[in-house]
C-alpha cells in the first residue's frame, strides 16, 4: 500500500491515528479501543505558568522583565511564587517581604490595566513543606496569596513512610493549590527521595489538590508514567516552568510533550484556563478543601 503519511497508514488499516507519544507499550494500548484515544494537549493551549521565581528570591528577572516576556509569548497570566523563608539558600522571603511583594505586584497590575494590557500577575509562594508536614508560612498569610505551591526542599533522607506522611499532611492544607515537584529529583544529579507516589496522588485526589508537572528538564516531575493513574483519580495537572531565567519559559512546550505521554488533554491541565476561570478554580479549590 502506497502511503505518504503516517495518518494514511492508519487509515488504510482501518484504525484511528495513534499519536506518537502514546505508542509506548504500557499494557494500556493492548486493551484500548482506538476510538477511545484522548485528544491530547497542545502546548499552545497553555495560558501561563503557576510556579516561577523573580529577583525577589533566586530568580534572575524583575517583574518588568517577566511581564515583557510573558506578554510577548501571548500569556494571559504568570504567577510569581518566590521561595519561603526556610529556603535561605534561595534568598527565601520572610512574611514581611511577602507583604511588600504583594504591594508591588498589585501596583504593577494596576499599571498593566492603565496601559490597556490584559496580562496579569498572580501572587503566590513556593512554600517549603517542613519536616513534620507543616508549611513555612501560617495560614493567615497563605490566604492572601492567589497561588500556593507546596514543595520539599530539605530533609531528603527520611524513610518512605515519613516522607509520604509529611507530604500528605501538606496537601491536606486547604490553602495549598499545587504540590510542587513531587519526588524532588534532579535528573543526572540527585535521586528522588523515597516517597509512595500513588499514596500522595490518592491524598491529592481526596483533597482536590493539583499536582505539578515541573517542566524543567532537570526535573520532569511528576514522571509521565504516573499521570494516567492521576488522571483516572481525577487529579488535575499544572504544567509549570519553575522559571528563573528568560529562556525557561520555553519549558512550557517541553511540559506539554511530557503531558501528552501521560495521556493528558486540555481539560486535565488547569493552566489551559483563561484568567477569570482560573481565578474561580483557585478559589473553589480552597472552598472544597475546607469541607
Rounded Cα–Cα distance for residues 195 and 184 (Å)? 10
Instruction: Report pLDDT digits (tens) over 117-134.
Output: 999 999 999 999 999 999
Question: Residues of 203-238 as b/e, b for ≥16 C-beta within 10 angstroms?
Answer: bbbebbbbbbbbbbeebbbbbbebbebbbeeebbbb
How many C-beta atoms surround the C-beta of residue 75 within 10 A? Answer: 22
In DSSP terms, 78 is beta-bridged to: 121
What domains can you pick out in the chain, each with its CATH number?
A: 42-290 (3.20.20.140)
What pLDDT does residue 195 have? 98
pTM: 0.94
What pLDDT does residue 35 have? 52
Indicate the Cα dihedral angle 166, 168, 170, 172, nearest 10°.
Answer: -150
What pLDDT does residue 280 have? 97
Grid coordinates of 212: 505539578
Grid coordinates of 186: 534532579
Grid coordinates of 279: 481565578
Helix ranges, 52-142 (H): 63-73, 95-114, 139-142
Rounded Cα–Cα distance for residues 191 and 174 (Å)? 30
For the chain, what's the residue count? 291
Rounded Cα–Cα distance for residues 29 and 206 (Å)? 28
Q: Is-contact 258 24, C-beta < 8 A?
A: no
How many C-beta atoms surround the C-beta of residue 128 within 10 A? Answer: 25
Rounded Cα–Cα distance for residues 203 and 109 (Å)? 35
pLDDT-flagged residues of the chain (< 50): 30-32, 34
Closest to 41 (Cα-Cα) out of 276, 266, 290, 284:
266
Amino acid at each position: 500500500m502506497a502511503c505518504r503519511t503516517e495518518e494514511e497508514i492508519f487509515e488504510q488499516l482501518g484504525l484511528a491515528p495513534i499519536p506518537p507519544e502514546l505508542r509506548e507499550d504500557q499494557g494500556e494500548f493492548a486493551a484500548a479501543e482506538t476510538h477511545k484515544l484522548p485528544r491530547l494537549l497542545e502546548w499552545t493551549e497553555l495560558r501561563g505558568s503557576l510556579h516561577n521565581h523573580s529577583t525577589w528570591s533566586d530568580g534572575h528577572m524583575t517583574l518588568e522583565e517577566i511581564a515583557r516576556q510573558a506578554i510577548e509569548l501571548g500569556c494571559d497570566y504568570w504567577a510569581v511564587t518566590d521561595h519561603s523563608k526556610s529556603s535561605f539558600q534561595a534568598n527565601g522571603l520572610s512574611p514581611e517581604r511577602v507583604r511588600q511583594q504583594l504591594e508591588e505586584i498589585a501596583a504593577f497590575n494596576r499599571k498593566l490595566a492603565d496601559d490597556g494590557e490584559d496580562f496579569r500577575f498572580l501572587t503566590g509562594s513556593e512554600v517549603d513543606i517542613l519536616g513534620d508536614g507543616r508549611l513555612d508560612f501560617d495560614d493567615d498569610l497563605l490566604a492572601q496569596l492567589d497561588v500556593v505551591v507546596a514543595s520539599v526542599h530539605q530533609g531528603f533522607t527520611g524513610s518512605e513512610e515519613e516522607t509520604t506522611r509529611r507530604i500528605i499532611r501538606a496537601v491536606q492544607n486547604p490553602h495549598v493549590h499545587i504540590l510542587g515537584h513531587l519526588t524532588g529529583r534532579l535528573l543526572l544529579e540527585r535521586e528522588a527521595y523515597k516517597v509512595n507516589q500513588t499514596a500522595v496522588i490518592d491524598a491529592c485526589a481526596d483533597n482536590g489538590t493539583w499536582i505539578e508537572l515541573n517542566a524543567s528538564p532537570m526535573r520532569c516531575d511528576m514522571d509521565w508514567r504516573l499521570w494516567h493513574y492521576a488522571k483516572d483519580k481525577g487529579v488535575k495537572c499544572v504544567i509549570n516552568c519553575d522559571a528563573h531565567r528568560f529562556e525557561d519559559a520555553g519549558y512550557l512546550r517541553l511540559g506539554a510533550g511530557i503531558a501528552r505521554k501521560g495521556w493528558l488533554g486540555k481539560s486535565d491541565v488547569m493552566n489551559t484556563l483563561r484568567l477569570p476561570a482560573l481565578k474561580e478554580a483557585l478559589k473553589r479549590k480552597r472552598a472544597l478543601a475546607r469541607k
